[in-house]
């Protein structure tokens, strides 16, 4: 830092702030992670087994993809409660479209698969677009708008299926996307890595990423500097909806049927928890997807560890709630301790 | 003239002028009344519409039924409204209802169910329910007010915790053994010919209206919601009152939970279900502003009435339950749109 | 610094000045902020805007920067009529404003802020290397002590000011607007800025410069335009005008008419602060005394810690160490509620943010800080009739116009809002009053009423502390004057020593002391 003692009007030198920041924000996640991994591997021999590790990574992939979108929305100063419902909707839409296409066309499976995936992604993007337009037009917190779309989207998913799983997708879909492996790891892990890498690039190196930070960090400054707000706000919700739909499709391929019960509130809560634990500030403007992805991995490991240790799955939400509140409280605490600008 | 004559900018004062600009727009009484009457008119139109579709809607039996159903949602909407007034939210309201329901049922079962005296049973239920609600409200209030966590995350957290507690203590199953004495007090009883649920909602509504408009506590809630910093500078104990607001919210939710438990006759771990969403929808549609400082008992009750009539009508005209979810979502968004229009019209 | 690096300015049509405003009027409801103002700025000229707070300077530069359009009048720039100008378009055609409220995103780095809204990119991908290079060049040319990768929220106010100026100079600047740019800069940085300004002028950049500092006007200005009450008073040649002339034009009256003569009668010690430091580090080891029956002033630059000192005394700014005693009694806890009970009132500088609940009626805003008293409530239930009967007469004596206490405060003018704050202090019995920038954002007439109010308080024996960035104001009002600099007390001036010259020299002494240390 270059601020010299004579220039600073207070004693808030940058270095001490950064150090505290490091301990408080970066510190929480590795510490918790180390405790959980070491503790569980001592208590359960299955924990570090190959099957269990692959399983953890697969489940973490789903959460990480959704959390990346959620993080982007929160960085821009919003909230997306509809992601869980979008997972369900995309699953149902994908399965219905694919099954319908397969029976109507009858030709090669690939056509039906592409149509199904296209429809599923399209449904997620549409919900995201709707969220984004409502939020940017109404200039209200995304929270309530997406609370509304969450209910409506879940309703549409249930309405389409009457709550019954949708079968009839080509076997190739399930085999190619749901069950295929590469170098011993399922496809979902590679897709998640690709999504994370692309998102890191978007955040660091593109105009869109830069403007998302600016809009969340100081909306007025962004406006005065000539940043167009609406398209970028809409963009964050569209990305979030699209990524949630991607997870819906991957889960559909994994379970082999379209289900309106996939995703849901649990997934939505976990995505917010991952973003918050991963250092995304609810005040906007701060957060990096790679750390959010690590937080998603942590939450998955935690859930897995609790299962292996035979801790009642009903108690697990309590841990999630406490950790989430703790993470935000620490963030607030560090913000108060460091400079007030 | 001075060399060090540094002045804080007057730009903010100038920009204040712009807001005044907009406010001057509609001083006319006509518009104000129209805004106030919009929802009642919509209610009447809704009733009329359903009545045309189905002649069972306007029977006195169904109207009483609507009033009774409304009293539950009205309680929850009032609870939610109290925290929304302070720029807050309570997403844990639904799970709190579930938690109180199973907690109270377990307490009553623990007292030996119907064998103990009615008074003992009801006291046990009240004590257990209130204790759980106080714990939840205290958690929310402390985390929001003292730790400075946004109400959203705080109550999202406590929502998870309440769900966990509700399913854990009940083992995920309904808790049986709710004695008739309890149902008598909170469901089947009546006063002056009115079902007890309506009586309770009326009493709570009148009391809350008095608290909000006539007491220092109520006045302070409005000021905190309008400008929390100014409230703090004026010596209003903002943090303490915020904790009270969350406590009051949870306590009202607990009362509603006991009433619903009496109605179903068992402690249900999923009783709260969509109540967080419904209560927010009711409060917002009724005109409680999410920006804080605007709203009251009337807005909460009208909103609850609107949503109840809508779902009652949809039930009677056999509209699918899933469609009702979609409609509820649409109403929440509509409520925000209306709130926005109201604010920008000022 | 090489010639056309900072700006690539083409001199516009020489027949017409760069900027020509004629008859520009800006009306806010209830306020005529600008009333037919004429202003022209030539390329290569530095044009000073001079006037009191509320004279319309800020409104005028906001109109020029495209923040809001004028209600009427003609606005020509570079020979073309401008209408419906947005801030973005204004920047694009070369109008670069540097406001006092920064347009920086705290969570981004200096470099990212410099290019915000006009990043170098190809197909949506940022050219990070190119921008870094350009940012380094620019900061080097400006000679600012700025690290391009530093996050803005880690910088102090002076460095943020530098970043803001650098941001304004990136790109094609034809008209630079500087709103009190030296307010938080040190002597050395100020000198650097002046060199830069001279250089920009030779490059043909027109500059609008808002300042109250005579020394700067002497050093920099080509012409001076005086504004008063939203009207253009006179445009003068800086070389020929005298200081006295400018001040007279600005105030439109003798200064001693504006400030009342106050009979100070110092009594016992009301506030005694010992070795106080605040948690945010803006106040460092301050000793301070205020007595009953006199006005104690605190002067200093923006960000010197003077408001934090009174805020700490009132209990809003957390204290790290030191002690505060009221009437000789050491306090163990400080918060607004207990301060009010002990008879201390605080009037915040930003009334919209910290003072008033705008959508609530005047009555509630006035009684807000006194609801714990039994005159207003009994057992927590508000006595509404009593409240109305008490608040009405208070606002009557403060000459609230119109005298309707049920109106929302948001509908009131700046002066009336300040009256609501004064009324709040009258709603309970208080004898220590802390004023933070009491005359910011209110017109001259309202200022006089505020000063009269303060005068009455002191003459009734109250202890009054006035914190102000307006040096004439604190000089005229206070009996004893503390000067603060970088969080410390630089001087305590009394009687004949209480002059502008001494206030200024104490800044420099303190600065050289700091350098020596």
Q: Contact at 8 Å (CB) between C447 and C258? A: yes
**C213 three-class SS:** coil
State whether C217 and C82 are in the same domain: yes
Q: Is position C224 within any domain?
A: yes
Interface of C with A in 464-503 (CB under 8 A): 486-487
| Residue with token string 């002494």 | C509
Number of Cα atoms under 13 Å in the Cβ half of residue A167: 0
DSSP-derived 3-state class of residue C239: coil
> Which residues does chain B have within 8 Å of residue A155's beta carbon, measured at their own beta carbons?
322-329
- Shared-domain flag, residues C237 and C280: no
Do the domain assignments include residue C148? yes
Q: Alpha-carbon distance B283 to B267, whole Å?
A: 26
Q: Is C340–B216 a contact, with Cβ atoms under 8 angstroms apart?
A: no
Q: What is the reported pLDDT for C54? A: 66
Q: What are phi and psi of B136, to 5 degrees?
A: -65, -45
Look up residue C270 and give its DSSP letter: E
C275 to C120, C272, C283, C306: CA distances (angstroms): 51, 10, 10, 15
Range scoring the smallest mean pLDDT among A51-65, A108-122, C220-234, C435-449: C435-449
pLDDT in tens, A65-90: 999 999 999 999 998 999 999 999 99
Are the beta carbons of A220 and C103 separated by less than 8 Å?
A: yes
Are C203 and C218 contained in the same domain? yes
Residue B182 pLDDT > 50? yes
Strand pairing report for C206-210 and C125-126:
unpaired
Do C143 and C185 share a domain, yes or no?
Answer: yes
Over residues A193-204, the mean pLDDT reads 95
Residues 222-251 of C with CB under 8 A from B: 243, 246-247, 250
pLDDT tens, B47-69?
A: 788 777 777 777 788 888 888 88
Q: Given CB atoms, is C321 within the 8 Å cutoff of chain A?
A: no
C87 and C23, same structural domain?
yes
User: How many domains does the structure of chain C reveal?
Assistant: 2
- Would you state the pLDDT for residue A225? 82
Do C72 and C159 reside in the same domain of the chain?
A: yes
Q: Show the domains of chain A with their CATH numbers.
A: 59-337 (1.10.3470)
| B266 pLDDT tier (thresholds 50, 70, 90) | confident
Query: Is-contact C248 C287, C-beta < 8 A?
Result: no
* Arithmetic mean of pLDDT, A252-265: 88
Q: Is A225 on the interface with C (CB under 8 A)?
A: yes
- Per the structure block, which two tokens stand in for B23? 């406010």
Q: Nearest-CA distance from C514 to chain A in Å? A: 7
Instruction: Fold for B56-345, please state it.
Output: ABC transporter involved in vitamin B12 uptake, BtuC (1.10.3470)
Highest mean pLDDT of the ranges A324-333, B122-131, B318-327: B122-131
Quick one: pLDDT at residue B16?
A: 37
Contact assessment for residue C457 and residue C429, using Cβ atoms and an 8 Å cutoff: no
Q: Which residue has the higher pLDDT, A81 or A175?
A: A81
Last residue of a domain, one of C235, C252, C269: C252
- What span, in angstroms and rounded, lies between the C-alpha atoms of B245 and B141? 8
Mutate to test the interface with A, among B142, B336, B338, B343 (most CBs of A within 10 A): B336
Cβ contact A207–C107 (<8 Å): no
Is it the case that residue A22 has pLDDT exceeding 80?
A: no
Interface test mutation site (partner B, options A155, A158, A322, max chain B beta carbons within 10 A): A155
Q: How far is C274 from chain A (nearest CA, A)?
A: 19
Which pLDDT does position B344 carry in this prediction? 64
Of B168, B324, B332, the CB nearest to A148: B332
Q: Residue B277: in which H helix or E strand, if any?
A: helix B275-286
Q: C145 — contact with chain A (CB < 8 Å)? A: yes
* C130 in reach of chain A (CB within 8 A): no
User: Between residues 252 and 291 of chain B, which touch chain A (CB distance below 8 Å)?
Assistant: 274, 277, 280-281, 284, 290
Q: Are residues C263 and C319 in the same domain?
A: yes
C43 domain-assigned: yes
Residue C393 lies in a domain: no
Residues in B lying within 8 Å of C, measured between beta carbons: 1-14, 16-21, 23-24, 214-217, 219-220, 222-223, 226-227, 229-237, 293-294, 346
d(CA C507, CA C470): 15
Specify the DSSP class assigned to residue C311: H
Burial B208-247 (b: 16+ CB within 10 A, else e): bbebbebbbbbbbbbbbbbbbbbbbbbbbbbbebbbbbbb
Q: Using the 3D structure, point to which of C252, C270, C290 is the last residue of a domain.
A: C252
Which residue among B1, B14, B214 places its CB closest to the CB of C212? B1
Least confident of A85-99, A172-186, A238-252, B22-36: B22-36
Q: Is residue C381 part of a domain?
A: no
Q: For residue C233, give the CATH number of its domain.
A: 3.40.50.300
Same domain as C221, residue C300: no
C320 in the same domain as C275: yes
Would you say B204 and B75 are in contact if contact means Cβ atoms under 8 Å apart?
Answer: yes
CB contact under 8 A, A227 and C116: yes
Residue of chain C with shortest Cα separation from B222: C360
Q: How far is A205 from chain B (nearest CA, A)?
A: 30
Residues 6+ apart with CB under 8 A from B60: none
Whether residue B137 is predicted with pLDDT greater than 90 in this model: the reply is yes
C-alpha–C-alpha distance, residues A168 and A172, integer Å: 11
Q: What angle do CA C183, C184, C186 make, to 5 degrees?
A: 110
C124 CA: distance to closest CA in chain A (Å): 5
Domain boundaries, chain B: 56-345
| Residue where the block lists tokens 């009032």 | B78
> Does a structural domain hold residue C110?
yes
Say if residue C290's pLDDT is above 50. yes
Contact yes or no for B323 and A155 at CB 8 A? yes
| Nearest Cα residue in chain C from A335 | C153
Residue C39 phi, psi (nearest 5): -155, 135
Q: Which residues of B touch C339 (CB under 8 A)?
A: 235
User: What residues are paired with B18 via a beta bridge?
Assistant: none
Question: A341 touching C, CB under 8 A?
Answer: yes
Answer whether C305 touches B (CB < 8 Å).
Answer: no
Strand-pairing partners, residue C274, are: C323
Nearest CA in chain C to B343: C359
Chains near A with 3+ CB pairs less than 8 A apart are: B, C
Contact state of A221 with C153 under an 8 Å Cβ cutoff = no
A186, pLDDT greater than 60: yes
Q: In 3-state terms, what secondary structure has residue A34?
A: helix
What gap in Å lies between CA A296 and CA A313, rounded to an integer? 18
A6 CB neighbours in chain C (<8 A) are 186, 511, 514-515
Residues of chain B in contact with residue A150, where contact means CB-CB under 8 angstroms, are 277, 329
pLDDT at B30 (0 to 100)? 44
| pLDDT at residue B150, rounded to an integer | 86
C240 and C93 in a single domain? The answer is yes
- With cut-offs at 50, 70 and 90, classify the pLDDT of residue B217: very high
The answer to the question of residue C401 being in a domain is no
pLDDT at site B55: 76
From chain C, pick out residues whose CB is under 8 angstroms from the CB of A207: 119, 121, 124-126
| pLDDT tens digit sequence for B67-116 | 888 999 999 999 999 999 999 989 999 999 999 999 999 988 887 655 66
Contact between chains at A325 and B149 (C-beta distance less than 8 A): yes
B235–C339 C-beta distance less than 8 A: yes
Residue B14 — pLDDT band, cuts 50, 70, 90?
Answer: very low
The domain containing residue C238 runs over which residues?
3-8+18-252
Give yes or no: residues C92 and C149 share one domain.
yes
**Tokens 């180390």 sit at which residue?**
A34
C387, part of any domain: no
Q: In this predicted model, what pLDDT tens digit does every residue of C18-62 receive, in sequence order?
A: 999 999 998 876 567 888 899 999 999 999 998 876 678 888 998
C-alpha–C-alpha distance, residues C158 and C164, integer Å = 10
Does residue C141 sit in the same domain as residue C236?
yes
């Amino acid at each position: 830092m270059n601020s010299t003692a004579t220039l600073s009007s207070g004693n808030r030198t940058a270095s001490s702030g950064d150090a505290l920041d490091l301990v408080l924000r970066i510190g929480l996640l590795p510490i918790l992670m180390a405790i959980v991994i070491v503790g569980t591997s001592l208590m359960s021999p299955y924990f570090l087994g190959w099957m269990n590790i692959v399983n953890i990574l697969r489940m973490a992939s789903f959460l990480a993809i959704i959390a990346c979108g959620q993080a982007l929305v929160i960085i821009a100063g919003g909230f997306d409660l509809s992601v869980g419902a979008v997972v369900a909707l995309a699953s149902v839409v994908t399965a219905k479209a694919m099954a319908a296409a397969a029976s109507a066309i009858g030709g090669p499976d690939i056509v039906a698969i592409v149509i199904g995936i296209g429809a599923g992604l399209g449904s997620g993007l549409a919900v995201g677009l709707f969220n984004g337009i409502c939020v940017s037009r109404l200039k209200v917190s995304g929270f309530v708008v997406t609370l509304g779309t969450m209910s409506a989207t879940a309703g549409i998913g249930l309405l389409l299926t009457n709550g019954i799983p949708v079968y009839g997708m080509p076997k190739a879909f399930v085999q190619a996307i749901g069950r295929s492996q590469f170098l011993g790891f399922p496809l979902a892990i590679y897709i998640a890595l690709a999504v994370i890498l692309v998102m890191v690039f978007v955040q660091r190196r593109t105009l869109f990423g830069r403007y998302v930070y600016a809009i969340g960090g100081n909306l007025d400054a962004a406006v005065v500097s000539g940043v167009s707000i609406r398209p970028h706000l809409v963009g964050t919700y569209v990305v979030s909806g699209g990524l949630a739909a991607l997870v819906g499709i991957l889960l559909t391929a994994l379970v082999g049927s379209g289900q309106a019960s996939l995703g849901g509130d649990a997934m939505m809560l976990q995505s917010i928890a991952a973003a918050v634990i991963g250092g995304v500030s609810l005040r906007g403007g701060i957060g990096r997807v790679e750390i959010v992805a690590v937080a998603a991995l942590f939450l998955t490991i935690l859930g897995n560890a609790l299962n292996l240790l035979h801790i009642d799955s009903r108690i697990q939400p309590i841990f999630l709630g406490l950790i989430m509140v703790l993470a935000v409280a620490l963030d607030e605490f560090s913000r108060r301790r460091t400079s007030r600008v | 003239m001075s060399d060090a004559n540094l002045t804080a900018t007057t730009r903010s004062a100038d920009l204040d002028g712009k807001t005044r600009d907009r406010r001057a727009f509609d001083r006319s009484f006509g518009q104000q009344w129209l805004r106030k009457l919009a929802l009642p008119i919509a209610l009447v139109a809704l009733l009329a519409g359903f009545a045309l579709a189905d002649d069972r809607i306007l029977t006195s039996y169904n109207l009483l039924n609507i009033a009774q159903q409304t009293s539950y949602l009205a309680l929850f909407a009032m609870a939610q409204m109290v925290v929304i007034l302070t720029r807050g939210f309570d997403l844990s309201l639904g799970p709190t209802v579930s938690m109180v329901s199973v907690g109270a049922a377990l307490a009553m079962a623990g007292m030996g169910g119907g064998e103990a005296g009615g008074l003992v049973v009801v006291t046990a239920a009240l004590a257990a329910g209130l204790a759980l609600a106080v714990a939840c409200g205290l958690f929310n209030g402390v985390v929001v007010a003292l730790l400075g966590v946004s109400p959203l995350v705080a109550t999202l957290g406590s929502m998870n915790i309440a769900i966990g507690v509700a399913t854990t203590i009940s083992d995920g199953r309904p808790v049986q053994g709710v004695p008739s004495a309890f149902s008598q007090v909170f469901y089947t009883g009546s006063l002056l010919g009115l079902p007890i649920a309506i009586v309770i909602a009326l009493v709570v509504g009148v009391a809350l209206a008095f608290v909000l408009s006539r007491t220092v506590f109520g006045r302070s809630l409005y000021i905190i919601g309008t400008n929390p910093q100014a409230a703090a500078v004026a010596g209003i104990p903002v943090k303490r009152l915020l904790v009270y607001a969350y406590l009051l919210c949870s306590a009202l939710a607990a009362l509603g939970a006991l009433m619903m438990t009496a109605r179903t006759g068992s402690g249900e771990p999923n009783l709260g279900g969509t109540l967080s969403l419904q209560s927010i929808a009711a409060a917002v549609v009724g005109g409680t502003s999410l920006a804080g400082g605007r709203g009251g008992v009337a807005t909460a009750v009208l909103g609850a009435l609107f949503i109840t009539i809508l779902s009652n009508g949809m039930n009677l005209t056999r509209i699918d339950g899933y469609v009702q979810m979609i409609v509820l979502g649409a109403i929440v968004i509509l409520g925000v749109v209306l709130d926005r229009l109201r604010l920008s019209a000022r | 610094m090489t010639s056309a690096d900072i700006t690539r300015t083409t001199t516009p049509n020489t027949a017409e000045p760069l900027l020509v405003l004629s008859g520009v009027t800006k009306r806010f409801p209830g306020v005529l902020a600008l009333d037919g103002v004429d202003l022209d700025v030539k390329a290569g000229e530095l044009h000073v805007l001079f006037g009191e707070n509320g004279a319309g300077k800020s409104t005028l530069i906001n109109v020029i920067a495209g923040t809001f359009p004028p209600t009427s009048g003609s606005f020509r720039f570079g020979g073309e009529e401008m209408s419906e100008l947005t801030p973005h378009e204004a920047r694009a055609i070369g109008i670069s404003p540097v406001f006092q409220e920064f347009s920086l995103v705290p969570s981004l780095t200096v470099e990212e802020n410099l290019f915000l809204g006009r990043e170098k990119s190809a197909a949506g991908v940022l050219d990070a290397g190119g921008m870094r290079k350009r940012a380094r060049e620019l900061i080097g040319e400006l000679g600012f002590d700025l690290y391009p990768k530093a996050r803005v929220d880690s910088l102090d106010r002076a460095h943020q000011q530098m970043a803001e100026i650098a941001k304004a100079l990136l790109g094609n600047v034809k008209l630079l607007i500087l709103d009190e740019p030296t307010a938080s800069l040190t002597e050395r940085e100020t000198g650097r800025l002046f060199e830069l300004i001279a250089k920009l002028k030779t490059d043909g950049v027109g500059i609008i410069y808002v300042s109250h500092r005579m020394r700067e006007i002497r050093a920099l200005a080509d012409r001076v335009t005086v504004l008063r009450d939203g009207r253009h008073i006179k445009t003068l040649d800086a070389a020929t005008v005298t200081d006295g002339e400018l001040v007279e034009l600005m105030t439109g009256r003798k200064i001693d008419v504006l400030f009342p003569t106050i009979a100070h009668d110092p009594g016992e010690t009301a506030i005694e602060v010992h070795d106080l430091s605040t948690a945010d580090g803006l106040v460092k080891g301050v000793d301070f005394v205020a007595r009953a029956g006199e006005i104690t002033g605190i002067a200093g630059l923006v960000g010197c810690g003077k408001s934090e000192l009174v805020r700490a005394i009132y209990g809003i700014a957390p204290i790290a160490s030191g002690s505060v005693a009221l009437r000789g009694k050491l306090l163990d806890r400080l918060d607004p509620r207990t301060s009010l009970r002990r008879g201390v009132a605080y009037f915040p500088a930003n009334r919209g943010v910290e003072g008033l609940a705008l959508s609530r009626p005047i009555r509630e805003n006035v009684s807000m800080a006194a609801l714990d008293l039994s005159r207003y409530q009994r057992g927590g239930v508000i006595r509404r009739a009593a409240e109305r009967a008490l608040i009405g007469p208070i606002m009557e004596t403060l000459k609230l116009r119109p005298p309707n206490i049920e109106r929302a405060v948001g509908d009131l003018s700046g002066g009336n809002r300040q009256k609501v704050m004064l009324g709040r202090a009258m709603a309970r019995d208080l004898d220590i009053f802390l004023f933070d920038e009491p005359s910011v954002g209110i017109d001259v007439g309202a200022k006089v009423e505020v000063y009269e109010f303060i005068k009455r308080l002191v003459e009734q024996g109250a202890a009054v502390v006035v914190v102000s960035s307006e040096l004439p104001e604190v000089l005229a009002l206070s009996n004893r004057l503390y000067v603060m600099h970088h969080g410390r007390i630089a001087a305590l001036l009394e009687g004949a020593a209480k002059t502008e010259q001494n206030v200024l020299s104490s800044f420099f002494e303190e600065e050289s002391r700091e350098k020596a240390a």
